[in-house]
A = this chain, B = another copy of it.
Amino acid sequence: MTANTDRRALLAGAAALGAATLAPATGLAKEEYADVKKALSAGHDAAVKRLQDWIKLPSIAAENLNYPAGAEYMKQLALDAGFQHAEIVPSSGKPGVFATLDAGAKKTLGLYFMYDVKQFVPSEWESPPLEGRILDRPGLGKVVMGRGAVNQKGPETTVLHALHAMKAAGRKLPVNLVLVCEGEEEIASPNFHEIVGAPQVAAALKKSVGVIIPFASQSPSTGAVTINLGAKGALELEMVVSGEKWGRGPKGDIHSSQKARVDSPPWRLVAALSSLVSPDGNTVVIDGIPEMVRPLTARERELIAMTAAKTSEADSKAQLGVSRWIDDMTWEQSLERLAAVPTVNIQGLIAGYTGPGGKTVLPGKATAKIELRLVPNMTKDDTVRKLRAHLDKRGFNDVEVNVSGGYGPTETAEDAALTKAQIAAYKRFGAATTLYPRLAGSWPGVIFTGPPLNLPAGQFGLGYGNGAHAPNEIFLIESANPTKVAGMDEAALGFVDFLYQVAAIG
């Protein structure tokens, strides 16, 4: 069977079963997945082991850990899953991976993977973060705990699981795949544009209908999914004040009694930081940034109101450990801000003595780890320029702004075929969906949605995980309630269904 025949047969099958049981009436009838389901069950243990093994090899760009080993491992994962071609793509930073799976299909789908993970502090974990131990979570099911479990190796392994199962079931994929993967997502993808811009990668992606990053999208209580029509951009940087660069204050730490006559780098950092936001830290006041913010459209407000109505404020607050939103705003207002406003966040502050007790030093240096979230119509480079100009205008010419990575916001239209395919696949699983204008978190989708590719791009994936960037990161592999919240096999089946939706829609 060629893919086209296959697809036609499946569409016929779907039509035969009738739209009532298959809303919307695209893709395969659920019953027609029996062989895939069987293959997924048979491959379950291997898939879990694949995830555990991958977790054992953490690539962390900020610590220059496991490069290029992580890229080589990713390349092999792709080849094992059926990609006919896979190659390492060098960049100015860490290498990426490019792979293609030609199924002889009419359409091609792009996949965006990351093989790097966030830093971790083993002592903060209830189970060793590189072991990928399987734990029982009452009411939820069996989870794998480890760094990268949900961000992003679990969802990515789910996709690989689906591809292995399709192969085992002797099926051709309904779409061709182009995989592009980077190893610097967690440092804000400073070189990903080089990888995507490589001629063979750009040419392959140009043929695709859009790009998907695998995701674990479900609510653990309801199974509901929020589909984000975009994501904020991110800009990560350090602001550094040093006596060395300033020409004032001490070059190194000196006795603190000298503060009476010697300028202080930490105080200068405090002043420079203060100039960036309103006194409550909640409104960005960098010159020219407020004017760049595109107000929410009426449709975006409508989507937010629907999201507010369908989602639980209490759950969200409990999960975050937060008892009040800023300015004691309502749930809907908090969701508006989450989608609409740019932010300047202090990730970390470091100056002088940081050990127990005190130490009477006037520090020679002070550093703030800062990240900005960007909304349309902000861009990375323009934001960097505006920040620099803002500081310079206030006499902070000496305050270093060391950008480590970043990219602008990404957007994909509500009526894009890729969005419709997502909605269809979620609905067929039985997951309620909500459209939300813009994820407050970031991913470098703009590399795909921006010029020159101008492709739709979004997240897709059933299943559940938690603890990204935190201790005790988990990914659900066996759901206690698999018809509501997908375990790894159900999520892989959902991905297969999604591929058929992509093949069928638009």
Contacts and interface: CB of A to CB of B under 8 A. Distances in A.
Contacts of A355: 62-63, 119
A400 to B, nearest CB: 15
Given A187-B358, A357-B187, A369-B358, A271 B261 contact: no
A248 B348 contact: no
Contact of A326 (B261, B338, B469): B261
Contacts of A268: 280-281
B255 A337 contact: no
Contact of A338 (B261, B351, B356): B261
A357 B62 contact: yes
Task: List the 3 closest A-B pairs by CB distance, nearest first.
Answer: A267-B281, A62-B357, A266-B346
A255 B151 CA distance: 12
Contacts of A236: 358, 360
A286 to B, nearest CB: 14
Interface string A239-267: 00001000111111111111111111011
Tallying the copies of this chain within the complex gives 2
Interface of A: 61-63, 118-119, 187-188, 232, 234, 236, 238, 243, 247-264, 266-271, 273-274, 277, 279-282, 320-326, 329, 334-335, 337-338, 340-341, 343-364, 366, 369, 371, 373, 404-405, 439-442, 468-470
A205 to B, nearest CB: 26
Contacts of A266: 281, 346, 349
A371 B255 CA distance: 12
B262 A322 contact: yes
B325 A261 contact: yes
A34 B374 CA distance: 80
B62 A470 contact: no
A271 B279 contact: yes
A260 B358 contact: no
B280 A469 contact: no
Given A358-B187, A358-B369, A404-B358, A326 B256 contact: no
